[in-house]
């Protein structure tokens, strides 16, 4: 049995849940609300000293953090991480892109708009740059998807899961995906995959903040 410590609204955590569902692997989910400081408690820091979710725990006591590393481990030996060394490295390159050029802007914009007060200085200080750099990342994805159906090679896989999580809720961060038709088609293809599970809708308090813009 795999135990997952995760925050359900988090795209990074949802990646792990989605792959587990699509693999049909049993797991136990421990809801850990990072927005309320639950990843900074002594108990959680004993599990992950970096104070972040997701983290998985195995019955033998082994633990692993970092969402994309978890995806690679879970998908090893499955069609979700298939191909030769070159193809697998190409998938990894998109997963690195997601963490360095995509998530820091698209996910952070969503967090600022949905989980910080309306008078937070972060809104004026950080949102414009998040939007600018997030659109740059989306443009790179659009260019790729105009010629290829997936990011993981010939079929759907963990690079698609990694990029899907926050792209699918990019609107929460203020990103209009209308100018990106290839991304729109790819999102639809991911949603149509067997065992797909959407990220939960925002809670009423988060929805109220999102509605203020």
What is the structure's pLDDT at 25?
Answer: 97
Using CA atoms, how far apart are residues 93 and 9, in angstroms rounded to an integer? 25
Is the pTM higher than 0.85? The answer reads yes
What is the structure's pLDDT at 66?
Answer: 97
What is the structure's pLDDT at 33?
Answer: 95
What is the structure's pLDDT at 213?
Answer: 66
- State the SS3 of the chain: CEEEEECCCCHHHHHHHHHHHHHCCCEEEEECCHHHCCCCCHHHHHHCCCCCCCEEEECCCCEEECHHHHHHHHHCCCHHHCCCHHHHHHHHHHHHHHHHHHHHHHHHHHHHHHHCCCCCHHHHHHHHHHHHHHHHHHHHHHHHHCCCCCCCCCCCCHHHHHHHHHHCCHHHHCCCCCCCHHHHHHHHHHHCCCCCCCCCCCCHHHHHHHCCC
Query: Could you list the pLDDT tens digit for every one of the 213 residues in the chain?
Result: 999 999 999 999 999 999 999 999 999 999 999 999 999 999 999 999 999 999 999 999 999 999 999 999 999 999 999 999 999 999 999 999 999 999 999 999 999 999 999 999 999 999 999 999 999 999 999 999 999 999 999 999 999 999 999 999 999 999 999 999 999 999 999 999 999 999 999 999 999 999 886
Rounded to whole angstroms, what are the CA distances from 147 to 45, 144, 154?
44, 6, 12
Rounded to whole angstroms, what are the CA distances from 52 to 45, 68, 91?
9, 13, 24
What is the structure's pLDDT at 212?
Answer: 84
């Amino acid at each position: 049995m795999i135990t997952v410590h995760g925050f359900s609204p988090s795209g990074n955590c949802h990646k792990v849940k989605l792959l587990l569902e699509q693999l049909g692997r049993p797991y136990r989910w421990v809801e850990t609300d990072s927005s309320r400081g639950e990843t900074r408690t002594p108990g959680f820091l004993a599990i992950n000293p970096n104070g972040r979710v997701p983290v998985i725990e195995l019955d033998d006591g082994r633990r692993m953090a970092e969402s994309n590393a978890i995806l690679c481990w879970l998908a090893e030996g499955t069609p979700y991480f298939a191909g030769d060394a070159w193809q697998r490295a190409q998938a990894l390159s998109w997963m690195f892109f997601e963490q360095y050029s995509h998530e820091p802007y698209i996910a952070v914009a969503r967090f600022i708009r949905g989980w910080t007060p309306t008078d937070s200085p972060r809104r004026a200080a950080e949102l414009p740059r998040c939007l600018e750099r997030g659109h740059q990342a989306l443009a790179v994805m659009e260019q790729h998807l105009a010629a290829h159906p997936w990011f993981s090679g010939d079929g759907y896989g963990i690079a698609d899961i990694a990029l899907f999580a926050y792209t699918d809720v990019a609107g929460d961060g203020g990103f209009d995906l209308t100018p990106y038709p290839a991304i729109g088609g790819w999102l639809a293809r991911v949603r149509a995959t067997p065992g797909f599970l959407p990220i939960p809708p925002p809670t009423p308090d988060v929805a109220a903040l999102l509605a203020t813009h």
